Amino acid sequence: PNGTVSATPLDAYDTEYVSQIDVGGTTMNMVLDTGSADLWVFSSLQPSSQTSGHNIYKADSSKKVSGATWEIVYGDGSEASGAVYSDKVVVGGMTATSQAVEAATSVSSQLQVEKAIDGIFGLAFSSISSVEPNKVKTFFDNVKPSLAFPLFAVTLKYHAPGTYDFGFIDKSKYTGNITYVDVNTTQGAWEFTASGYAVGSGSTTTTNINAVIDTGATLLYLPTAVVKAYYAKVPKAQVSRTEGGYIFPCSTTLPDFTVIIGGSKQVVPGKYINYAPTKTDPTTCFGGIQKVGDIGVSIFGDIFLKSKYVIHEAGSGTPRLGFAQQ
């Protein structure tokens, strides 16, 4: 059967979105993350100093997967590791009866202090599962055969709850046409190539941009040249070493950012590119578009996603991404 689960902003800036997932009978607040493939949770295996304020998964030795371990490090340096259990996981009415649940024995402080997050729910390809000695399947891979269509569709929203639909496309959630592009699965992510960009009402620059769709990433991270071209159109924008990226006066009216995907223009409203005030000066704001650095692939995180309906399809053929405007 199909299913829908809501995704609610963690804070006033949509830093992350959390969904309520039933893991072995306990409701956990988890980030559905298309940028990773591990389903891990805070657990009873951790010292209580690490889990205070979090919902925890009660690790039952009778459900333990013998000899299996996992360890994951995210782009922001946060990390977690632990053991593996097989248990029932329910998402939006869909059940995986023997889902690999990665129970943490240790979680980094960055994640411990985020009391609203009890775990991460990976939706990238199972090929990048961190579990050793044998990789395990994501929830999506486990339930896919039971879905009407082998896909899930993401509707994140600006300062409002959105949804993840599994198994069906909801026509009420988008306008216009869906544009599909093929996915390159060699790195186990939802990776695709955009073919150009434009800033505000300016002309389109034709250039290939390799990118991944990543619901677990807050911002839109792009190549340096593209980011420079964007902020060249933002009065008083500057790179702040202390803030770690481009900042500008919060009163600025930002230009839209358009990226060409599958020949279609995908517009990110300028308003969505004003991410949040800096901690040091509330009249200075941190940009939602930032340099990705030299990791070779751009990261289309929530700043991009929150105006789109993005279909992640992985059937018998080449996986595809579908893009439509909300």
Ligand X SMILES: N#Cc1c(N)n[nH]c1N1CCCC1
Provide the annotated active-site residues: 33, 214
* 102 or 214: CB nearest ligand X: 214
Helix residue ranges, H only, the chain: 48-51, 109-112, 139-143, 224-231, 302-305
Q: Is 38 in the site for ligand X (CB under 6 A)?
A: no
Q: Is 33 in the site for ligand X (CB under 6 A)?
A: yes
Q: Which residues of 85-115 are buried (b: 16+ CB within 10 A; e: fewer)?
A: bbbebbbbebbbeebbbbbbbebbeebbebe
Q: Is 11 in the site for ligand X (CB under 6 A)?
A: no
Q: Do 158 and 307 form a contact (C-beta atoms < 8 A)? A: yes
Least Cα distance to 41 among 18, 13, 62 occurs for 18
Q: Is 216 in the site for ligand X (CB under 6 A)?
A: yes
Q: What is the DSSP letter of 204?
A: P
* 78 or 105: CB nearest ligand X: 78
Kindly indicate which of the ranges 94-102, 155-163, 210-218, 247-255 contains the residues binding ligand X, using the contact rule CB under 6 A.
210-218
CB of 236 to ligand X, least distance (A): 28
Q: Facing residues of 9 across strands?
A: 17
C-alpha span between 219 and 54 (Å, rounded): 25
Q: Compute the C-alpha angle 102/104/110, nearest 5°.
A: 120
Please identify the residue of the shown chain whose CB is closest to the bound ligand X. Answer: 216
> Which residue is associated with the tokens 């395990």?
136
CB of 253 to ligand X, least distance (A): 29
CB of 18 to ligand X, least distance (A): 11
C-alpha gyration radius of the chain: 20
* 108 or 240: CB nearest ligand X: 108
C-alpha span between 300 and 222 (Å, rounded): 8
Residues 120-139 that bind ligand X (CB under 6 A): 120
Kindly indicate which of the ranges 31-39, 45-53, 144-152, 224-232 contains the residues binding ligand X, using the contact rule CB under 6 A.
31-39
CB of 214 to ligand X, least distance (A): 5
Beta-strand ranges (E) seen in 47-93 are 64-73, 79-91
Binding mask 55-84 for ligand X (x = CB under 6 A): -------------------xxx-x------
Q: Is 214 in the site for ligand X (CB under 6 A)?
A: yes
Among 5, 18, 28, 31, binds ligand X (CB under 6 A): 31
Please report, as ranges, the residues that interact with ligand X according to CB under 6 A.
Answer: 31, 33, 35-36, 74-76, 78, 120, 214, 216-217
